[in-house]
Amino acid sequence: MNRREFTLTSALGITGSLLFGCADKKEFPFKKNEVIACLGDSVTNAGGHGYVEILQELANKKHPDLNLTFLNWGKSSETITGLTEVGHPGPRPYLFDRLDSLLDSTNVDMLMFCYGINCGIYGKPSEQLFNSYKIGVFSFLEKAKKKNIKTLLLTPPPLTLEAAPLEINNEEAFTWLNPYPNYDKEVLQKFKNTILTIEHDTLLASIDIHTPLTKNQAACYADDPIHPNANGHQLIADTIIEYLAF
């Protein structure tokens, strides 16, 4: 049994307690000296110059008395589904290969989560894919629960082919360089809805960054349709700040 099969099989027995509903929370969640670890893929990592660092700068400026620490635990290409598309240079990193060691090595009070853009490996939708994503989210929340850590979920960002179009060949395998043309509409929207409707004991809020980035994609994307530019990272941070009354 491989790494993904083990995680999915283990989680399937407990997904019956996965609850869905409307999470409409808007309150400042931080306390003094808290450490917030931000997990995600390259959008979160951003070379150390993205929304995580903007949140740290804002906390230092606006709430210096709280002494908050934002850790950037983003890892390029990572997924929560354990999938890799044909043509990718090696297996995509899988969050659950490193999550336990991260949580064992560092004391954190809150986890901020942003996964999805890579998790469907840029291909067509399927129920198996959507179930794998739901199980990945739920498995993450259960890991946090065992450590008594609060969580914030961000929706995946969009794939902005209008702002940064690619020449797509439908006769070839779909990859991050040749994505399924309706990947955003048919896959990422479904992932977004999963994040926005899930409920869990550890969950403080689910925050939609997909919608504002989509609406402002002309200003927020330039080089490619996956990675927001500086404007995009500022918008992600602003969206988080507004939602949490930061």
242 contacts: CB under 8 Å, gap ≥ 6:
none
3-state secondary structure of 236: helix
Record the tokens describing residue 51, joined without a space: 């929304």
- Is the pLDDT reported for residue 115 higher than 60? yes
Q: How far apart (Å, rounded) are the C-alpha atoms in residues 111 and 203?
A: 10
Q: What is the pLDDT of residues 43-95, one digit of tens each?
A: 999 999 999 999 999 999 999 999 999 999 999 999 999 999 998 999 999 99
Q: What share of the chain is helix, strand, coil (3-state, %, to 5)?
A: 40, 15, 45
Pairing of strands 198-199, 19-20: antiparallel
Q: Is the pLDDT of residue 16 over 60?
A: no
Amino acid at 56: Q
Does residue 13 surpass a pLDDT of 70? Answer: no
- Superfamily of chain region 30-243: SGNH hydrolase (3.40.50.1110)
CB-CB neighbours of 199 under 10 Å: 13
Q: Is the pLDDT of residue 141 over 60?
A: yes
Q: Which of 7-11, 64-68, 238-242 has the lowest mean pLDDT?
A: 7-11
Q: What is the C-alpha separation between 70 and 22, in angstroms, rounded?
A: 27
Least trusted range by pLDDT, from 101-105, 134-138, 176-180, 242-246: 242-246
Query: CB atoms < 10 A from the CB of 2, how many?
Result: 9
Please enumerate in sequence order all residues whose Cβ is within 8 A of that of 221, keeping only pairs 6 or more positions apart, or say none. 160, 163, 164, 227, 228, 229, 232
Quote the CA–CA distance of 211 and 59 in Å, as a whole number. Answer: 24
Q: Which residues are CB-neighbours of 115 under 8 A, at least 6 positions away?
A: 39, 40, 41, 78, 79, 80, 95, 136, 137, 156
As a whole-number percent, the residues of the chain with pLDDT over 90 amount to: 87
pLDDT in tens, 161-206: 999 999 999 999 999 999 999 999 999 999 999 999 999 999 999 9
Question: Does the CA dihedral 88-157-111-132 come out positive or negative?
Answer: negative
Strand partners, 154: 114, 207
Q: How many CB atoms lie within 10 A of CB 5?
A: 10
Residue 7 has pLDDT above 80, yes or no: no
Domain ranges (residues) in the chain: 30-243
